[in-house]
Amino acid sequence: MKKGDGMNTNLSTFADLYQFTMMYGYYKTGKMDDEVAFDLFFRKNPFHNGYTIAAGLETVIQYIQNLSFTESDIEYLKSTELFHDECFFDYLKNLKFTGDFYAVPEGTIVFPNEPIIKVKTRLFEAQFIETALLTQIGHQSLITTKANRMVRVAKGKPILEFGARRAQGVESAVLGSRAAIIGGCSSTSNVKAGKDYDLMISGTHAHSWIMSFESELEAFQSYAEAFPDQLILLVDTYDTLKSGLPNAIKVFRETRKKYGELRKYGIRLDSGDLAYLSKKAREMLDEAGFQDAMIVASNDLDEYTIRELESQEAKIDAYGVGTKLITAFDQPALGCVYKLAAEKINDEWIPKIKRSENPEKITNPGLKKVVRFIDEKNGEALVDLIMLENEKVPDQPFEVFDPIHTWKRKKVQHCISIELLHPIFKKGELVYESPSIKEIVDSVKRNLNCFSKEHKRFSKPHVYHVDLSQNLWDMKMKLLDELD
- What does the alpha-carbon distance between residue 278 and residue 284 come to, in Å, rounded to a whole number? 10
| Interval 164-175: pLDDT, tens | 999 999 999 999
In what helix (H) or strand (E) does residue 468 lie, and over which residues does it extend? strand 466-468
Task: Specify the pLDDT at position 212.
Answer: 98
Q: How many CB atoms lie within 10 A of CB 64?
A: 21
- What does the alpha-carbon distance between residue 332 and residue 349 come to, in Å, rounded to a whole number? 37
- What does the alpha-carbon distance between residue 338 and residue 133 come to, in Å, rounded to a whole number? 9
Under 8 Å between Cβ of 316 and 274: yes
- What does the alpha-carbon distance between residue 480 and residue 143 come to, in Å, rounded to a whole number? 36
Task: Specify the pLDDT at position 186.
Answer: 98
- What does the alpha-carbon distance between residue 49 and residue 158 come to, in Å, rounded to a whole number? 21
Task: Specify the pLDDT at position 9.
Answer: 62
Q: Domain 204-299 adopts which CATH fold?
A: TIM Barrel (3.20.20)
Positions of the chain with pLDDT lower than 70, given as ranges: 1-9
Task: Specify the pLDDT at position 3.
Answer: 45
- What does the alpha-carbon distance between residue 263 and residue 282 come to, in Å, rounded to a whole number? 18
Under 8 Å between Cβ of 293 and 253: no
Rounded alpha-carbon distances, angstroms, from residue 84 to 20, 24, 91, 232, 374: 13, 9, 13, 62, 55
Task: Specify the pLDDT at position 293.
Answer: 98
Closest CA to 314 of 322, 323, 306: 306
Task: Specify the pLDDT at position 331.
Answer: 95
Under 8 Å between Cβ of 119 and 129: yes
CATH of domain 17-143+332-483: 3.20.140.10
| Bridge partners of residue 338, in order along the sequence | 40
- CATH 3.20.140.10 location in the chain: 17-143+332-483
Task: Provide the 3-class DSSP secondary structure of residue 2.
Answer: coil
Contacts 24+ apart (CB under 8 A), 1-6: 1/198, 1/436, 1/437, 1/438, 2/198, 3/197, 3/198, 3/436, 4/195, 4/196, 4/197, 4/198, 5/196, 6/58, 6/59, 6/62, 6/196, 6/197
Instruction: Annotate 143-160 with three-state secondary structure.
Output: HHHHHHHHHHHCCCCCEE
Q: Residue 245 burial (CB < 10 Å; 0-12/13-18/19+)?
A: buried
Task: Specify the pLDDT at position 292.
Answer: 96
| Interval 444-484: pLDDT, tens | 999 999 999 999 999 999 999 999 999 999 999 999 999 87
- CATH 3.20.20.70 location in the chain: 204-299
